[in-house]
Structure 1
Amino acid sequence: MDIERFGGPTVRFEYGGLIFVTDPTFDDPGEYPIGARVLVKLTPPLAPPPDRADVVLLSHDQHPDNLDRAGRAFLARATHVLTTPVAAARLGAGARGLEPWASADVGGVSVTAVPAQHGPDGTEHLTGPVTGFVLTAPASPGVYVSGDNASLDVVRAVAERFPGLGVAVLFGGAARTPLLGEANLTLDAAGLVAAADILGVGEVHAVHVDGWAHFTEGPAEVRAAFAAAGRPDPLGVQRGGHRG
């Protein structure tokens, strides 16, 4: 699956004849407050926002490294925005919230919301709800988009519900903030490899591993972990600076 990368968690890809965009973030580098904390964006987006999207897969809206100001404006260019129920309520018209394991049919593609755990067990009240997604369509391999997830048990649950997936878009970066100290809010590089093994997928695209100061691992760690496991580079050959 050919994907266009914009940095951070944001990619564009085509599946089942539809254009999907994940967690749109297109703001410039700078400081982005979140409650009493500040997240620091280090690099600009790799490309301007797309002209449109059929579907935005929004894992959550409460953190600016997953939905920033320009990303919020981009939602108006999408025909469908699928996210968590609480995010949909905050975003208003045009956003649809899906409970875990609920599905929506969009243009012949079935989009199922799957669990995601944005930190260690018992921390959702601090980080807020997050969702992942599984896409299925006739005669096409299934696609898993993890969202911000730090739990391999969650990955196992997805693999049990959806055996035989073909592609995984996995959010990594081993994100950490003062909110949870040394605990990872997303998978580290070793966890990305383990997730790929659990899912049994041959094609992995790692995202959410660059562009922000609170990501404690970057592309180098991810590439090294996949190389050590004998797996292809999940960041791909960068064509034109932003394709994977």
Structure 2
Amino acid sequence: MLPTITTIGGPTALLELGGLRILTDPTFDPPGDHPVGPLTLTKTIGPALSHADVGRVDLVLLSHDQHPDNLDRLGRRMMSAAPLTLSTPEAAERTGVTPMRPWQHHDVGRVRVTAVPALHGPPGCEPIVGQVTGFVLTGDGLPTVYISGDNASLECVELIAERFPAVDVALLFGGAVRTPMIDERLTLNAADMVIAARLLKARYVVPLHVEGWTHFTENQADVHAAFSEAGLGHLLVSPTPGRPAPLVPVR
């Protein structure tokens, strides 16, 4: 049975799968400035749902905790109310969540969560940007779901595709993020999202992390244009933010 997905804004989505309500990278603050060391990141679009609107959450999948466009003040409050949050070892040291290293798995009800590699920028960027992780969700009778997190590496996607050769739903974080600290892309751009979809043999692609912040250099329109040009526009699922979108079989 395919999941139901509600996009909320930025990297935040509610995934209903295997009887669980799973939240990705909680961001619920209103628009405004967020200092990050010497930088200030500016949020331009608020969430489609408040943390109160979302209601019960069984599991939070946090790609990383160190950047406010993936975890903000109200997101931390939402995360603290959830019974389980899985993230990186660095995030666990700072926040007390449950740590996972690449290829480790954690079973939650019917759903097996496997942490998968991700790189938040070019090789060697980790001392500046920190650890980040992606996730793959599997289970008996359930679709395979990939959540990329803030990954910029197609090499990581290739490794994931080798272990999980048939991905039903890919939640790809894009936006082609750039900041003055690293003048290279810190997340996938639209063209790389197309390549990732092909590598994963994805049946559906849900673009996340493509709107709402001034340091994102691409948006939903760029993603749709790239997939359309590649003849893969039929793969895209872009639900109206805040409205649950059940996925239906396409083949």
TM-score of the superposition, structure 1-length normalised? 0.95
SS at structure 2 position matched to 1:168:
strand
Q: In structure 2, do the counterparts of structure 1 residues 108 and 243 end up closer, same or farther at CA, with 3 Å as the change threshold?
A: closer
C-alpha contact 2:204 2:237 (8 A) present in aligned 1? no
Aligned match of 1:66 in 35, 58, 70?
Answer: 70
**Quick check: 1:223–1:235 contact (8 Å CA) kept in 2?**
no
Alignment equivalent of 2:138, drawn from 136, 139, 146: 136
Pairing of 1:155-194 with structure 2 (within 5 A):
155-181=157-183, 183-194=184-195
| Higher normalized strand content (fraction of residues) | 1
Q: Distance in 2 between matches of 1:68 and 1:115?
A: 23
For 1:41 and 1:120, the matched residues in 2 are separated by: 24
Question: 2:111 is aligned with what amino acid?
Answer: V
The offset of 1:108, in angstroms, is 2.2
| 1:82 equivalent in alignment to 2:86 | yes
Structure 1: 5+ residue stretches without partners? none
- The residue type equivalent to 1:29 in the other structure is P
Distance 2:89 2:236 in 1: 31
Q: Is the 8 A contact 2:203 2:235 kept in 1?
A: no
Secondary structure of the 1:141 match is coil
CA apart distance, 1:115: 0.6
How many percent of aligned residue pairs carry the same amino acid? 52
* Residue equivalent to 2:248: none
Q: Secondary structure at the match of 1:73?
A: helix
- 2:216 partner amino acid: F
TM normalised by structure 2 equals 0.92
CA displacement 1:105-137 (0-9 Å, x = unmatched): 111211000010000111111110000000001
Deviation at 1:233, TM superposition (A): 5.9
Q: How does 1:177-216 map to 2 (within 5 A)?
A: 177-181=179-183, 183-216=184-217
The amino acid of 1:77's aligned partner reads A
Give the total of aligned pairs.
240
CA offset at residue 236 of structure 1? 2.3
Return the offset for 1:237.
4.4
Residues 30-79 of structure 1 deviation map (CA, whole Å, 9 limit, x = unaligned): 10000111100001111112112111000000000000000000012211
Q: CA RMSD in A?
A: 1.3
Amino acid at match of 2:28: F
- 8 Å Cα contact 1:39-1:212 kept in structure 2: yes
Does the 8 Å contact 2:204/2:235 carry over to 1?
A: no
The 3-state SS of whatever aligns with 2:196 is: helix
1:21 aligns with 2:23: yes
**Aligned AA for 2:189?**
D
List per-residue Cα deviations over 1:159-195 (Å, max 9, x = no partner): 00111121110000000001102x1000000011110
Query: What is the identity, as a one-letter code, of the residue corresponding to 1:189?
Result: A
* SS of corresponding position for 1:72: helix
> 1:209 Cα deviation (Å)?
0.1
User: What's the offset of the Cα at 1:2?
Assistant: 2.5
Higher relative contact order (CA 8 A, sep 6+): 2
Q: Which AA in structure 2 matches 1:143?
A: V
Q: Which runs of 5+ in 2 are unaligned?
A: 246-251
Which amino acid counterpart does residue 73 of structure 2 have in structure 1?
Answer: R
Letter in 2 for 1:172: G
Q: Which runs of 4+ in 1 moved over 4 A?
A: 240-244
Instruction: Letter of the 1:161 partner, please give it.
Output: R
